[in-house]
Amino acid sequence: MDLSTMNKEQLQAIKTTEGPLLIMAGAGSGKTRVLTHRVAYLLDEKQVPSYNILAITFTNKAAKEMRERVDKLIAEDASKMWISTFHAMCVRILRRDISYLGYDTSFSILDPLDQQSVVRDILKTRNLDTKQHNPRSILAVISNYKNQLIKPEEAIAEAGGFQDELYSEIYKDYQEILYRNSSLDFDDLIMLTIELFQKEPNVLSYYQTRFQYVHVDEYQDTNHAQYQLVQMLAAKYRNICVVGDSDQSIYKFRGADIQNILNFEEDYPEATVIKLEENYRSTKTILDAANAVIGNNTERKPKNLRSNKGDGVKIDVQVSFSEREEGQRVVQKVQELSDKYSYGDMAILYRANAQSRAVEDAFVKSSIPYKMVGGTKFYSRMEIKDLMSYLKVIQNPFDDISFQRIINVPKRGIGAKTIDKLRAHAEQLNSSIYDAIRDADFLGIPAKTVGKLMSLLQVLDNLKEKSKYMTMTDLVDEVLADTGYHDMLSSDKTLEARSRLENLEEFKTVTKEFDNDNPVADDNLFNFLSDMALVSDQDGMDDTAGVTMMTMHASKGLEFPVIFVVGLEEGIFPSRRVQFDDGELEEERRLMYVALTRAMDHLILSRAESRMLYGKTESNMQSRFLSEIPEELLESAGSIAAGFSGGKSGVTPTTGSSFSRGPKKRSRIINTNKTGTDFNVGDKVSHKAFGDGIVSQVKGEGDNTELDIIFNSAGPKRLLANYAPLEKKD
């Protein structure tokens, strides 16, 4: 195996195979290349059987890429090596041994919509209003309990108030329903695997003995449960290699604990630590900007990325009057750069999905092709959910959640009263609705309805048999035909029905890909459903030409020659809710670091003087993160630039820029008196976005003078006197 192209640190990381190893890999430093070569080195040079190697990644896409790279590097058969995400690994472990915990081995995996449905049913049973108790908020609490490996009984015992007690009780109800349905949510996959290992030491011993070399990518993003799982698997041989970057820990809201990587040397005192600081992705200018920003954090392992690509061009800063103009400026820059780069080489990053609207509108109006990551998800569409529910019931008859979705779709004349009787009978027998149907004759259900239920049961039983010898594509065709679902949509001549049929046809693209990779086998349906449940936003990215739009979180692990970061304003990014929490603020700064280091050649940073978001228009100062970038790295274009108060640099407009507007296009009215003292209480003013108003209070002095203004239509606002686009009125 040729290692001649590796730098000194990369080579050391590849050849350090025994004992704990922490690879602190900066953005763009070739960590995936190092990880794959390290695995290949173990197989080829150290003659380690592939059976003894485990590599854990955070996305299916990364796992697939790693396997393909390893296969290209060596001639040996690496098929027995496990390369997968945490969740996919746990599915394999639980599929083999979950019966020890009382679950059926044909368990279902709930998606977020299914989870919300379960919580809504619990709230309904408890006569609680979903407006007061948001199902998604409750699920976030439950997820946090599971990430901390706290079971319902412990949560109830530790509850510190009425809401804690209520949500702990709902957690208990939720787990009981999932158990009865032999269903798991994402967090269960890891929590139950740990429970299995604790309950059955022989099972843990089997995997500890098997996985003598454990690799974990993106270690800074592990939560407590994932950390515990890795500790258990690596305890016997301690040949654990973790790769990560404390500066890219951005998933605290999902339970990620940055201390896992910061404390690695405490967990493994004999650990070797190697830093990968040579960046192969970005120009020196981009890296200098990223280093300057992240240098303001204290909770990190110090390192300094260096580039091997030269200085590159300066970073563009665009300042627009509104979010609509911001979208137009992004389009103008995309059109300018399209002479050198394809649309697929460019990406727009934003803090929250809601910010995408104005940019998307500008793309639509300019006819520039674009694709969105993490927007309305294909698998959340009604017809896809219906089809998946049929497949889940065929695989797992205990799955009442899915069964209730499709029992009367297409309409079969099976009403709510019938379903309630079946559900009550199922609960009495501690069984499933599927089995309860067999007793329908004795439940006071009309004979005509019983006939329809029995007919449905016959269809599902037949489809279960077909699933054992059919490809997934053929099985989908059979499901749509035998259940009458295809006929239901075909007979409906509306455009909506036609669109749904097209989506079902598109779904076959997914099944055909699965069929190409998997020969027909008894467990194909289970494997297919597991794959579908573990799909992430990045897995769904297509390769079609178009500018990519995504949140900064979704961009993690990706790179583009051209990156736009929009919405760089205080209150937007960093978010207003974190501005006075140092820990949360450092997390936001890490997110900025991730966004900056996605760029290879060109980086465009954008902000707006006023922005309408969530139905409210606000004027915010420039983001402190933009102010933390040294001025000499920036080149600005726009209406007006205002630095964050107390920041390291201010940004001044560059005349003659291709994005500067001359006075003929619009005259800018700003307070040119830098002391800010020419506004007094009672002054009538006019603002470009907010309209007419009256000054109610003047606070501060100099650059920090603030005006409280009551606008006729927009209500009270607090603005910086020096930078707000205000005009005095007589």
DSSP string, 239-282: -EEEEE-GGG---GGGTB-THHHHTHHHH-TT-EEEEE-EESSS
Residue 434 and residue 449 in one domain: yes
Any known ligand binding at 32? yes
Mean pLDDT across 231-242: 96
Q: Does residue 658 form part of some domain?
A: no
The pTM assigned to this predicted structure is: 0.74
Tell me which of 620, 636, 652 is where a domain ends.
636
Q: Does residue 298 form part of some domain?
A: no
- Please give the sequence-ordered ranges of beta strands (E in DSSP) within 344-398, or none if there are none: 346-350, 370-372
Any known ligand binding at 29? yes
Which CATH number goes with the domain that contains 469?
A: 1.10.486.10
Tell me which of 276, 297, 314 is where a domain ends.
276
Residue 593 and residue 611 in one domain: yes
- 673, two tokens: 């008196």
Complete edge-to-edge strand list for the sheet that includes strand 684-687 = 715-720, 706-711, 691-699, 684-687, 726-729
Question: Mean pLDDT score of the chain, rounded to an integer?
Answer: 86
Residue that has been written with the tokens 């465009």 in this structure: 604
Q: Does residue 572 form part of some domain?
A: yes
557 secondary structure, DSSP code? T
Higher pLDDT, 507 or 402: 402
Residue 406 and residue 499 in one domain: yes
Residue 204 and residue 250 in one domain: yes
What percent of the chain stands above pLDDT 90? 56
Q: What is the pLDDT of residues 377-395, one digit of tens each?
A: 566 788 989 999 999 999 9
Residue 91 and residue 225 in one domain: yes
Residue 495 and residue 392 in one domain: yes
**pLDDT above 70: residue 368:** yes
Q: Does residue 3 form part of some domain?
A: no
Q: What is the pLDDT of residues 457-487, one digit of tens each?
A: 999 999 999 999 999 999 999 999 999 999 9
So what's the pLDDT on residue 724?
65
Residue 407 and residue 478 in one domain: yes
Any known ligand binding at 402? no
Residue 396 and residue 470 in one domain: yes
Confidence of residue 676 (pLDDT cuts 50, 70, 90): very low
Residue 272 and residue 334 in one domain: no
Mean pLDDT across 674-681: 62
Residue 57 DSSP SS3: strand
Any known ligand binding at 31? yes
Any known ligand binding at 183? no
Q: What is the pLDDT of residues 77-115, one digit of tens each?
A: 777 899 999 999 999 999 999 999 999 999 999 988 889
Which domain covers residue 201, as residue numbers? 8-96+191-276
Tell me which of 572, 606, 636 is where a domain ends.
636
Which CATH number goes with the domain that contains 591?
A: 3.40.50.300
Q: Does residue 171 form part of some domain?
A: yes
Residue 197 and residue 170 in one domain: no
Residue 241 and residue 261 in one domain: yes
Number of domains in the chain: 5
In degrees and rounded to multiples of 5, residue 560 shows phi and psi of -145, 145
Residue 385 and residue 451 in one domain: yes
Residues with catalytic function: 31-32, 217-218, 248, 598
